Structure formats: structure tokens, C-alpha cells
Amino acid sequence: MKRIGVFTSGGDAPGMNAAIRAVVRTATYHGIEVYGIMRGYSGMIRGEFVKLDSASVSNTVQKGGTILKSARSHSFRSKEGRQQAFDQLVNNGIEGLVAIGGNGTFAGAMIFEEEFGIPTVGAPGTIDNDLYGTDYTIGYDTAVNTALECVDKIRDTADSHDRCFFIEVMGRDSGYIAIPCAIGGGAEIVMVPETQMSVEAAIETLRSGWQRHKTSFIVIVAEGDVEGNAHHVAAHIKAAIPQLDTRVTVIGHIQRGGSPTAADRLLGSQIGIAAVEGLMNGMRNVMAGIIDRKLVYTPFIDTISKKKPINQSFMRMVEILST
């Protein structure tokens, strides 16, 4: 393999640039040319390729976002769009791909390889930490720390005004951001898709706290919770406990930005190296990940279809520490 492409797709995540840098420098180390594909699959279809070398990725490891930019492509979902992407890769002599993204990115890569035979190794880049086959995804640690900083600040005003704050964090269909924010931020309740905690149960917990003369509360709500978003949950609880002075804060996309933590820079670098060397060793349709501090390669079909379970001991910690 003499020439590979690297791209980022889907939502941006802190640490993606560390992964891009590692891909470029690992390929260069092994005498392989690297082309950056701008704007994910959309750029692949349009032929937006930029040759990268070690100098191209200097001073990027500490930057948030992605220097290759990201986009979601409707055209790539069609056979015609994938044909155009394949033609662009062939015309530019690209023999393999490193895809940095989440399960949508990997689903596209898997179909692409099955149709056209372009080998791809994935790097798990998403703040949601919802990919099976790795303990942590690139961007997750930074997102948790960003969200937790916000929770700490909101706790100050909640305590000052005797209020109940409902704080919505990201995570799509996963509670991986919400749970450590609840534990680290001293929340009384955390509502995540995995536990399907009812609004009625939350009402009972808050009512019990109120009866014990507790005057301020923090409720963390994952955006994908089955009971709805934070505004929905807050409205139901306010109706049941009208004496509560309630406020809602949606942290939003601030969780996706910012300089990556040391953990995300290290993880992005590890995975970037592993992705390139995986391609060199003939791997395809797999995601590089770290499980129990060991490098593993998981088939795309497993990362997409298998559910990553929540650590139940964390849920027990929330219950014990919120009493």
C-alpha cells in the first residue's frame, strides 16, 4: 500500500486532530503517502483531496474540531454516489482509508468496501462513547469534563437560589456523558436511556428530598432519555411538585468543542497509529479500539449492531451518593 486517505465524518469530537496527526506521521514513518479528504464522504465524492505531510499536521494536536472538516452526505447513501467516490479514489491512486467517526461513518465504510473493495480501518471519533469495541471513544473524556464544568457552575446558582435545575447533556442514545456528570457533579437524579427511569420515580425522589428540607437539586437528563428532553421532564415534575423553583439548562454543542484533554490526545494518537498499521497488515472493515488498555480490532458490523452496556456499578453509585 503506497497511498491512503484519511477523513472525518459525522459529529466533530475533540481529539480528532490528534488522530489525523498520528495517521499522517505513522504513514510517513512507513513510507506511505497520505491524502486528507475534506468534508468526509461529501468531499470524497467531489474529489476534495489534499496531500498531507508531517509539516501539514504540526501544531494541531491541541486543537478541537477537525482540520479536515466534517459533513453528512446524502449522496453517499446511493450507489451512484458511492461509485463517484470510488472513481475519485482510483483517479488519485488511493488504496486504503482511515475513517474517523461513529457508527454512521462505519456503516458507510462497510457498504463501500463490500461494493468496491476499498479497505477501511476506523477510528472511533464521537463524544457519545457509544461504540462497541472500545472502552472510550475519541472526544468523550473532553466532553465529560466540559459538561461537568458547566454542572459545577449551575450547582452554585442552584444552591444560592434554592432551585431545582434540570441539565440536559449530549450522548444521543447513550448515558455515558450523563452518568459521570451526575456522580462528579453531585446530582440527585440522572435519567438515561439505559435505565428507563420514569418521571414518577424522579418525582418521588425529589419529593422525598424536599420533605427532608433539602432545598436545591440537580437532575441530569441525557438527550436520548425515553421520558423526553429536560424541558419535558421539568414540566411534568413542576406540575407534580409546584413548590419547586425549577430551571432548565441545555448544555448543547459546547460539549463538542474545545481543546482535547490529555486522555483524548493520547487516545487519538494511539488509535491513529493502530489504524494505519492495521491497513498495512491487510485489515479491512474493522475499528481500532482500546479495551482494558490493550489494542483490539472490532469488525464494523459489531461496532454498529452491538450495544455497549452501561456500568451498573456507576448507577448504584448515583443512588448511594445522592441520599
Q: Is 309 helix (H, G, I), strand (E, B) or coil?
A: coil
* The C-alpha cell that represents 291 in the structure block: 479495551
172 is in an annotated binding site: yes
22 is in an annotated binding site: yes
* The C-alpha cell that represents 168 in the structure block: 440536559
Cα dihedral 264, 270, 276, 279 sign: negative
Nearest 10 degrees: CA dihedral of 290, 140, 193, 197?
Answer: 110
Q: Which amino acid would we find at residue 173?
A: D
128 is in an annotated binding site: yes
Task: Select which of 12, 128, 130, 264 is catalytic.
Answer: 128
126 is in an annotated binding site: yes
23 is in an annotated binding site: yes
25 is in an annotated binding site: yes
249 is in an annotated binding site: no
Residues 6+ apart with CB under 8 A from 243: 210
220 is in an annotated binding site: no
CA angle 87, 288, 194 (to 5 degrees): 110
Catalytic residue list contains 128: yes
Cα dihedral 218, 223, 226, 227 sign: positive
252 is in an annotated binding site: no
Binding-site residues for ATP, please? 11, 72-73, 102-105
Residues forming the annotated binding site for substrate? 126-128, 163, 170-172, 223, 247, 253-256
Annotated binding residues for Mg(2+), as ranges? 103
Catalytic center residues: 128
Could you list the residues known to form a binding site for ADP, using ranges. Answer: 21-25, 155, 186-188, 212, 214-216
